[in-house]
Amino acid sequence: MVEKTNTVVPDDDMLGGPRLADPYPYFAAMQQQDPVHWNEKFGAWFIHKHADVLAALRNPAFSSDRVRPVFDRHMSPEQRQRRQPTFDVLRHWMVFLDPPEHTRLRKILTPLFSPKAVAPWRPRIDQVVEESLAALAERDTFDFVLDFAYPIPAIVVAELIGVPAGDRDKFKKWSDDILTLVFGAEGQQDRRELAQQGLVELTAYLGDLIADIRKNPRDDVISHLVSAEVEPPLTDQEIISTCALLVFGGHETTTNLIANGTRQLLLHPEQWALLRDEPQRINAAVEELLRFDGPSRLEARLLVEDVEMRGKVLRAGQNVFLVQSAANRDPDVFSEPGSLDITRQPNQHIGFGHGVHHCLGNFLARLEAVVAIPAVISAMPDLRLDGAETWHTTMMSRGMKTMPVRRGGR
């Protein structure tokens, strides 16, 4: 008779019940009990320790090229025909490419999102934040996500890329539709159809915009892509796909960083007060907020060769999820990992990933958070949460749909 042990996690429902809003007790248990865990529910390995996640992000055996294999090997001819519009866009996204294809695209874009390139946007970000706060000045209650955290990066990334800011509501709908597919969502049976429709509409929009920019080039990201000198030259589909990725990723991550970060400061009033009294701590505070409750829950990879990790053999062809949210609270790396401490330094979090796929827009996202969060604290020192937030039921991202707030005493 085999003796049962208490070391096995009782279930694989990572997003179930209270874990959607607060997954961290579950992640802590996984780190202790089964840090390299085969999850039957999702049919994939989940890796939870900081050192293991970091090693995987550095190891080319953990491939980002996970769209093409699904399309080529796991779909029937009828399914491929039906999903061709989705594949045409996603197969050129850098996040789904390995070197050298990834390197070719990244080389073009990296200079456009470097600290030097992003810094001149500070005055415009200041202005957008000020205007957003002014629009809320007379409101006792509002939705922090929809009314503040979303519009700021949506306006900034639209202007940076070359998309009219007035069209951001269109991009909000398209982005929400695409999010359910790219980040993985539970409980939405029609998510593939919604995502494809959003991608088709976004592609048509960007195609018209790119055609206009070819005739009338400007100083924006799309113009740089259109005129980029690279071998082989970028195709129209590659330009459209890259712009779609930038529009999607350029606001989704930053919205979640600003909203999640502000929520955690409100839940930790002593940290809110410290940042209010010492706003010069904002850079370290943003790094801690990225660690403590960042916008990326995990990164997905596909194994292209067998890998041994903690005595287990992860086989080629299997899916792997690298759980950044767990790694960023690893007690082997961070002292008191479950405590929010905006003075924490150094901070070895991997909230923006690591290695060749380190988030391209991380400097822009950081700058927007550095501006927006202290501005909220200064303008609304009495802000408080006002009821339960709602969360996106997505695997890879960690973000809220809504976050009701109230200005205290009003």
* Predicted local confidence at residue 6, as pLDDT: 44
Task: Compute the distance between CA of residue 394 and CA of residue 185 in angstroms, rounded to an integer.
Answer: 4
> How many folded domains does the chain comprise?
1
Q: What is the CATH number of the domain that holds 145?
A: 1.10.630.10
2 pLDDT band (50/70/90 cuts)? Answer: very low
Angle between helices 122-136 and 362-379 (to 10 degrees): 40
Q: Is the pLDDT of residue 403 over 70?
A: yes
Q: Is the pLDDT of residue 390 over 60?
A: yes
Q: What is the pTM of this model?
A: 0.91
Q: What is the average pLDDT across 23-48?
A: 95
Residue 214 lies in a domain: yes
Give 325-365 pLDDT, tens digit per residue: 999 999 999 999 999 999 999 999 999 999 999 999 999 99
Residue 5 lies in a domain: no
Residue 6 lies in a domain: no
Q: Any idea which of 5-9, 19-23, 166-170 has the lowest mean pLDDT?
A: 5-9
Residue 3 lies in a domain: no
Q: Is the pLDDT of residue 186 over 60?
A: no
Task: Compute the distance between CA of residue 153 and CA of residue 148 in angstroms, rounded to an integer.
Answer: 9
* Predicted local confidence at residue 232, as pLDDT: 87
Give 202-228 pLDDT, tens digit per residue: 888 888 989 999 899 988 999 999 999
Residue 396 lies in a domain: yes
* Predicted local confidence at residue 78, as pLDDT: 83
Residue 11 lies in a domain: no
* Predicted local confidence at residue 326, as pLDDT: 97
* Predicted local confidence at residue 366, as pLDDT: 98
Angle between helices 362-379 and 151-161 (to 10 degrees): 140
Q: Is the pLDDT of residue 138 over 70?
A: yes
Q: Is the pLDDT of residue 197 over 90?
A: no
187 pLDDT band (50/70/90 cuts)? Answer: low
More confident position, 330 or 68: 330
Tokens 């359910």 — which residue? 180
Residue 8 lies in a domain: no
16 pLDDT band (50/70/90 cuts)? Answer: confident
User: For the stretch 171-196, what's the b/e string if a residue is b when 16 or more beta carbons lie within 10 angstroms of its beta carbon?
Assistant: bbebbebbbbbbbbbbeeeebeebbb
CA separation (Å) from 399 to 267, 310, 335, 377?
A: 16, 31, 25, 21
* Predicted local confidence at residue 132, as pLDDT: 96
Residue 195 lies in a domain: yes
Give 71-110 pLDDT, tens digit per residue: 777 778 887 887 787 788 888 889 999 999 999 999 999 9
Q: Is the pLDDT of residue 172 over 80?
A: no
Q: What is the average pLDDT across 13-17?
A: 85
Phi, psi torsion values for 219, nearest 5 degrees: -100, 75
3 pLDDT band (50/70/90 cuts)? Answer: very low
Range of the domain at 254: 17-407
Q: Any idea which of 22-26, 49-53, 247-251, 303-307 has the lowest mean pLDDT?
A: 247-251
Q: Is 221 helix (H, G, I), strand (E, B) or coil?
A: helix
Q: What is the mean pLDDT of the chain?
A: 90
Q: Is 156 helix (H, G, I), strand (E, B) or coil?
A: helix
